[in-house]
Amino acid sequence: MSISAKELARQLNLSAAAVSMALNDKPGVSQETRKRIKVAAEKAGYDFSRIQSRKKKTGTVDFIVYKKSGAIVDDTPFFSKVSEGIQTSCTEQGFRLRTQYIYESDFSRKDLEEIQYSDCAGIVLLGTEMVTEDLRPFLSLPIPLVLLDSYFETFSCDTVLINNEQGAYVAARHLIRSHKCQPGYLKSSYPINNFLERADGFKKAVRSHGMSFSQSIVHELTPSMSGAYADMREILSRGEKLARGYFADNDLIAAGAIKALREAGKKVPEDVAVVGFDNIPMSQILDLTTVNVPKEYLGRLAASRLFERIRDPRIPAVKLCVETQLIDRYSC
């Protein structure tokens, strides 16, 4: 039986990453160390056909969904559409797609090793809930990677994301122009980069129309339909002042808030207008004015960039930002 790269690393008292980089002819180790590893691998009977297989640029693409609380990233229509886009590109290029969820609460070095020593040719990493330090371990892998739906200036890696600021700006501007008044904000109580960028777009629209953001009515709601509904019901029960119209951080918040408003006897949009973000299938059923995100295209773009990286690991990293579009329905 041939020796594994992991066992070879143990015998040579080297890191698994160093052995992997040497065997795969990737930068990161000295020429002397590379030669030492390859000679030892040949003597130990390492199966080099694994390396040849990878060089054919086929194999499996891992779509890794990183979850912290689960409050944002879940099996929603948004993420299923993104996955469909990745799958389409993988099929076209002859790669298999493997989707896996990694939870912050039980994430360990073992998870990284299982990825590294599998047939993984590249990774699309959904970083919606990530913070800076969450990304670092994945970038240590000697495997091509594209970060999807998040961006960190401290790291140089290929990134595909939504233009959240632009989308929120257009949505808030639409509210202002439609109702000639200060818009309110249904803000996610769970902070992630996407929502922070949407907040920036909302504030920019308010200020560009001669208003002060401090005068906008802001309600913090859980970023799920059931959570937003419960939170909005509580706000209404306390008799808090309502805005004439609201921008919501996502469609689920918008849908939950609309349900609570209607139960309280408020007409949408006659009494209170609402604009969402994402354009999930539910928004069409609710006739919700929202910001469309080309979800399937996001997935296709991330996978396409990954295949470029697999073909040529030396190309410079890029940040690809996908524009959004307002879908004007009945709720505004």
> In this predicted structure, what is the pLDDT of residue 199?
98
Please give the domain boundaries of the chain with CATH numbers for all domains.
Answer: 5-54 (1.10.260), 58-163+295-324 (3.40.50.2300), 164-292 (3.40.50.2300)
- The phi-psi region of residue 210 (left if phi > 0; otherwise alpha if psi is between -120 and 50; otherwise beta) is left
Report whether 261 contacts 286 (CB < 8 A).
no
What contacts 24+ positions apart, CB below 8 Å, involve 103-107?
Answer: 103/67, 103/68, 104/66, 104/67, 104/68, 104/134
Give me the count of residues in the chain: 332
What was the pLDDT predicted at 23?
Answer: 81
Q: What is the pLDDT of residue 40?
A: 87
Tell me: the pLDDT tens digits for 201-236? 999 999 999 999 999 999 999 999 999 999 999 999
Tokens of 219: 């309600």
pLDDT (tens, 9 = 90+) of the chain, 332 residues, equals 578 888 888 888 988 888 887 887 676 678 788 888 888 888 888 877 666 555 445 689 999 999 886 556 555 677 889 999 999 999 999 999 999 999 888 888 888 888 988 889 999 999 998 999 999 999 999 999 999 999 999 999 999 999 999 999 999 999 999 999 999 999 999 988 999 999 999 999 999 999 999 999 999 999 999 999 999 999 999 999 999 999 999 999 999 999 999 999 999 999 999 999 999 999 999 999 999 999 999 999 999 999 999 999 889 999 999 999 999 999 99
Q: What is the DSSP letter of 4?
A: P
Cα separation, 112 vs 91, whole angstroms: 25
Q: Are 215 and 243 in contact (CB under 8 A)?
A: no
How many CB atoms are located within 10 Å of the residue 32 CB?
Answer: 8
Q: Which residues pair with 273 in a beta bridge?
A: 245
pTM of the model: 0.80
Nearest Cα to Cα of residue 196 among 134, 258, 128, 257: 128
Calculate the alpha carbon distances from 323 to 111, 165, 168, 308 in Å: 34, 10, 11, 22
What is the tens place of the pLDDT at every residue in 259-292?
Answer: 999 999 999 999 999 999 999 999 999 999 999 9
Instruction: Find the farthest-apart pair of alpha carbons in the chain and give their distance in angstroms, rounded.
Output: 79
pLDDT tens digits, residue range 159-170? 999 999 999 999
- Phi, psi of 292, rounded to the nearest 5 degrees: -80, 130
